[in-house]
Amino acid sequence: MWEDRDRFVLSKGHGCPILYAAMAKSGYFPEEEIYTLRKINSRLQGHPDHVRFPFIETSSGSLGQGLSVAQGMAIAAKLNHKKYKIYCLLGDGEIQEGQIWETAMSAPKFQLDNLVAIIDANQGQIDGHTRDVMDLAPLKKKWEAFNWDVQEINGHEFHEILTALDKAQLERKKPHMIIANTVKGKGVSFMEDNIEWHGVAPTPEQRDKAIKELNDKVLKG
């Protein structure tokens, strides 16, 4: 095991297909295994399972818990005088969970500058828009009030993501929060900001149309 690696906690565990895809591309397991997603006995379940698949840093999917797990990892790194960082990706609906705000309070107390949290602020959750279910505004001010180092970016612009991650290395003594403004289903005309697509699999025709639209956009730059 690579002791000094950075850690990544996918707190919004339902997003794991993209984590599996990134891990397969990085050589953690053969790409063909992707097709076992959510099948019985597969290591690639609908929520990340650390017991079946130890390359994943922690099991997740019960929303609201991952930031606490990441905080524990960050405290362990400090206690062991380790330099690695802990990254944690949260959903904006997820942060309505009370446990999130316990970590919001405690991480600054422990001066966890090795903890970088990112909120996928897509304004949507399973039952509708976050503003209608449980409004989160003003999101930046809330995290600043809890004494986090907060940045707000366009989560679809890679240079903004990379710059924010770099900047998060500079500020000392505070945990870091990157609010990444995104659009659910970005790039697919019939999915964009349409909550009905939160947990629905496309038909083969819809899948092909979506892939074509995404490919056209990539090719056009």
Ligand X SMILES: Cc1ncc(C[n+]2csc(CCOP(=O)(O)OP(=O)(O)O)c2C)c(N)n1
Q: Rounded to whole angstroms, how far apart are CA atoms 82 and 108?
A: 19
Q: Does 10 bind ligand X (CB under 6 A)?
A: no
Which residue among 59, 125, 151, 181 contacts ligand X (CB under 6 A)? 125
In degrees, rounded to 5, the angle at the alpha carbon of residue 181 between the alpha carbons of residues 193 and 24 is 85
Q: Which of residues 177-206 bind ligand X (CB under 6 A)?
A: 184
What's the full length of the chain, in residues? 221
The stretch near Mg ion (CB under 5 A) out of 44-52, 82-90, 98-106, 117-125 is 117-125
Q: Does 175 bind Mg ion (CB under 5 A)?
A: no
Q: Rounded to whole angstroms, how far apart are CA atoms 21 and 3?
A: 23
Q: Does 49 bind ligand X (CB under 6 A)?
A: no
List C-alpha distances in Å: 159 to 15, 25, 152, 163, 166.
Answer: 22, 21, 13, 6, 10
Shortest Cβ 39–Mg ion spacing (Å): 27
CA-closest candidate to residue 12, choices 87, 82, 73, 84: 87
Q: Which of residues 50-89 bind Mg ion (CB under 5 A)?
A: none
Q: Does 69 bind ligand X (CB under 6 A)?
A: no
Shortest Cβ 110–ligand X spacing (Å): 25
Q: Which of residues 153-172 bind ligand X (CB under 6 A)?
A: none
In degrees, rounded to 5, the angle at the alpha carbon of residue 50 between the alpha carbons of residues 71 and 89 is 45
Q: Does 91 bind Mg ion (CB under 5 A)?
A: yes
Q: Does 155 bind Mg ion (CB under 5 A)?
A: no
The closest residue (CB) to ligand X is 91
Q: Does 49 bind Mg ion (CB under 5 A)?
A: no
* Binding track, positions 124-143, relative to Mg ion; x by CB under 5 A: xx------------------
Residues that bind ligand X (CB under 6 A): 12, 14, 61-64, 91-94, 120, 122, 124-126, 184
